[in-house]
Amino acid sequence: MLLHIPNVLSPDQVARMRQRLEAAEWTDGRETVGVQGAKVKHNLQLPDTSPLREELAREVLKALARHPVYHAATLPLRTLPPRFNRYEGGGEYGFHVDGAVMSLPNGEQLRSDISCTLFLAEPDNYEGGELVISDTYGEHEVKLPAGDLIVYPSSSLHRVMPVTRGARLAAFFWVQSLIRDDNRRRMLFELDTSIQTLTRTGADASAVLQLTGVYHNLLRQWSET
C-alpha cells in the first residue's frame, strides 16, 4: 500500500527543523548502505551518531505517535529512528531495494516491512528529487509538500531522481509492522477507516460494534510480535 499522510509535521516544526538542517554537518550517504546500494547512492546524510540527528529523530517519532492515520496504516511494532538526508547538485539514488533486516540502537533487529519518507523541503524549492516507486501497478512518482509522509512496502524497487536545482531534505525510516503482509495490512486499514466513517455518520451502533470486533479479531489472528 502506497499511502500519502499529510501534515505529520506542522509548518512551524518543518521550518525549525529545516533551519537546523541547513546549518548541519553532512556526511556521505553511502556510509549506511550495503554494496548494492553504495553503487547507486549519491546523497548526503546526517551522521547516525550526531546529537542533531538524535534530537530531530525523537521529534519525528513523537509526531508519528500522535498521528492516528499513521498508526492505522502501519500498525507499528518496531521503528528505526529516522535518519535525515539531503540531495543537491545532481545527487540521486538509483533503483534499489531496501535491506530486509536492520539493527536497532538497542541491539534488537527490525524486519523492514514499510519504508517511510517524510518530506522536509517545499516541492518548488528544488527541481527533480521525485521518489519513484515501482510495484505491480507500474511506477509512481511522489513529491510531497514539506511535513507530509509517504509510506510504501519495503519490498518495492524505488529510486530518487536527480536533484538539478536547490536541495531536497527529508527524513526516512523503516517500520516492522504487527502485520507483515501488505495486503492484510491494507484490508485492516480499510476496515478501520470504514468503521471510523460509520461511527462519525451515526450508523447503527450494534453493527459498528460487531465490525469493530471483526477488526480486532483479524488483528489478533494476523499480528506477529
Task: Check if the beta carbon of residue 7 is closer than 8 Å to that of residue 148.
Answer: yes
Question: Which amino acid is residue 162, in one-letter code?
Answer: P
Q: Which is nearer to Ni ion, 88 or 98 (CB)?
A: 98
Q: How far is the CB of 158 from Ni ion (least distance, A)?
A: 6
- By the criterion CB under 5 A, which residues form the site for Ni ion? 98
Residue whose cell numbers read 511494532: 77
Q: How far is the CB of 182 from Ni ion (least distance, A)?
A: 16
Question: Which amino acid is residue 124, in one-letter code?
Answer: D
Q: Which is nearer to Ni ion, 20 or 30 (CB)?
A: 30
Q: Which is nearer to Ni ion, 13 or 172 (CB)?
A: 172
Q: How far is the CB of 96 from Ni ion (least distance, A)?
A: 6
User: What are the start-end ranges of the E strands in 125-187?
Assistant: 126-128, 131-135, 138-142, 149-153, 157-160, 163-177
Please, what is the Cα angle at 84 between 49 and 110, to 5 degrees?
Answer: 70
Q: How far is the CB of 116 from Ni ion (least distance, A)?
A: 10
Q: Which is nearer to Ni ion, 98 or 192 (CB)?
A: 98
Alpha-helix residue ranges (DSSP H) falling in the chain: 11-22, 35-38, 51-65, 68-74, 182-200, 205-222
